[in-house]
Each structure stands twice: as C-alpha cells, then as structure tokens.
Amino acid sequence: MHRKTLIIKTGSREEFLDITAKVREFIRSTGVERGCLVVFVPHTTAAVTINEGADPSVIKDLRNALHRLVPYGDRGYGHREGNSDAHIKASLLGSSLHLLVEGRELLLGTWQSIFFAEFDGPRQRQVWLSLVF
C-alpha cells in the first residue's frame, strides 16, 4: 500500500477545490500499474465528491444548492460552535471515494473531476490518499 497526505488550504467558508491533478500525480509517483485508490477526508466539516470540472458554474450551483438546503446560521441548530450546517453537508456528500487505477492511470469518466468540499473554512485541511495494489 502507498499512502500520501495532501495538504489543502481553503480560502473561504464554502469552497470546492479540484484535486484531480494532485491525485493523478500521486498515482504516477507510485508507479503502480493497477489497484484501488481510497480518497479519505479526515474532517467532519468537509467532504469529497466527484462532479464536472470543465464548467466552474456546475460546482457553484452545487455549492449554492447545498447552502439553500442546509442554511448557515439557522436558529434551530443546537451545536454551539455555529457550524452545524457544515457537519450536515459533510454527511450528505460523504467523506470518502473509492476509485480504480489501471495502466498507471486513474479511471474517471470524461467529465469527472474530484473535488475537496470545504464547508467551514478558511482552514488548512488534509486529504488521505491510499493506493492498495
């Protein structure tokens, strides 16, 4: 198994960062021909998701839709830190992805990119990559 921790700095409270290039770079650096990649976010107010990276408005629409479904600062929350919306969004998108590697390349569809989803930034975050072969 090869492992790597990506360090990510987010610049605003809610932000989606395309980490596909960094993931591909990690896979190539291992030289592994074929295996399974786990992308894991070790935080409870951030997540990871796959969506279209070509048109940035897709991700903006996703961020806005989550913001509308789970409002920030809603008076009904009990958690005193005031970031319950971020915890809820994290569970809706999920904290891990499971992907395949073949021919030393990550297998993704044509329009798919991997996004780190920040819901309580700006912060310094981690993404754990593990390539099992």
DSSP secondary structure, 81-121, as one string: TS-HHHHHHHHHH-SEEEEEEETTEE---TTEEEEEEESS-
Q: Tell which one of 25, 28, 29, 42 touches a copy of itself (CB under 8 A).
A: 42
DSSP reduced 3-state for 52: strand
The token pair at 62 is 């996703």
Q: Does 65 bind a copy of itself (CB under 8 A)?
A: yes
Q: Tell which one of 19, 23, 70, 131 touches a copy of itself (CB under 8 A).
A: 70
Q: Tell which one of 17, 23, 27, 87 touches a copy of itself (CB under 8 A).
A: 87
DSSP 70: S
* Torsion angle, alpha carbons of 89, 87, 16, 112, to 10: -50
Any idea what the Cα angle at residue 70 is, between residues 65 and 76, rounded to 5°?
160
Q: Which stretch binds a copy of itself (CB under 8 A): 6-14, 20-28, 99-107?
A: 99-107
Q: Does 20 bind a copy of itself (CB under 8 A)?
A: no
Site residues for a copy of itself per CB under 8 A: 1, 3, 34, 36, 38, 40-44, 49-52, 55, 57-58, 60-62, 64-66, 69-70, 76-81, 84, 87-88, 90-100, 102, 107-112, 126, 128, 130, 132
